[in-house]
Amino acid sequence: MLKKILINLFPKNFKNENVKINKLAYVTNTNFSGNNYVDRFCRIRNSSFGSYSYIGYNSDINNVQIGNYCSISSDVKIGLNSHPIHLFSTSPIFYSDTNPFGKKINKISYDDSPKITVIKNDVWIGTNVIIMEGISIGNGSIIAAGSVVTKDIGEYEIVGGIPAKIIKKRFDKETIKKLSDSKWWEKDAKELINSQFHL
């Protein structure tokens, strides 16, 4: 019985030598650009990973578009479903046929699929971060551990807290413009190292 359960957790029909998905991760309907890593006990659905992006232990994401060179830590939650607050009840029994009770009795029309969350390039997301659905995270930004992100984050911003607020910019305006204009994240890591790219 245990063997059958574990087999159901394994990623299916995915073959790419440059992508490593732990055997204890659940991945479905997700695309990988290459040189990616998914740690154990992750749950990843309806998403895409850019090159050299990885995600740590026990993270859960749904409907997330991740750019290149992103570092996502452990126990991160991104783009999970929300409940409607304008109806008489927030219980999914009244608006979703995929409710945990398995009952198909709802008569209310409500789209409970999460809005797409966009994480651009070179983003570092710390441990235990929660990012609400439909958020956009700018290139080069950093989200401090334990933060709850409820609003869009701009390029090269460092944010933290509940709700997350800007702490500071990583670089001055001139450096940010230089990095943004270079679009260095579109190049392969080996090419960047050989070119000795720096600020």
**pLDDT tens profile 31-90:** 999 999 999 999 999 999 999 999 999 999 999 999 999 999 999 999 987 777 777 777
| Dist CA 38 CA 27 (whole Å) | 9
What is the set of domains in the chain, with CATH numbers?
Answer: 26-171 (2.160.10.10)
In contact, 123 and 137? CB cutoff 8 Å: yes
CA-based nearest residue to 59, from 69, 51, 70, 34: 70
Known catalytic membership, residue 83:
yes
Mean pLDDT check: name the lowest of 2-11, 20-29, 106-115, 140-149: 2-11
pTM of the model: 0.84
pLDDT mean over 104-115: 73
In the prediction, which pLDDT does 1 show? 39
| Catalytic residue from among 14, 23, 28, 83 | 83
Cite the beta strand spans of the chain per DSSP E: 19-21, 26-28, 31-32, 36-38, 43-45, 48-49, 54-55, 60-62, 64-66, 71-72, 77-78, 117-119, 124-125, 130-131, 136-137, 142-143, 148-149, 157-160, 165-169
Residue 10: per-residue pLDDT: 44
Please answer whether residues 174 and 155 qualify as being in contact, where contact means their C-beta atoms are separated by less than 8 angstroms.
Answer: no
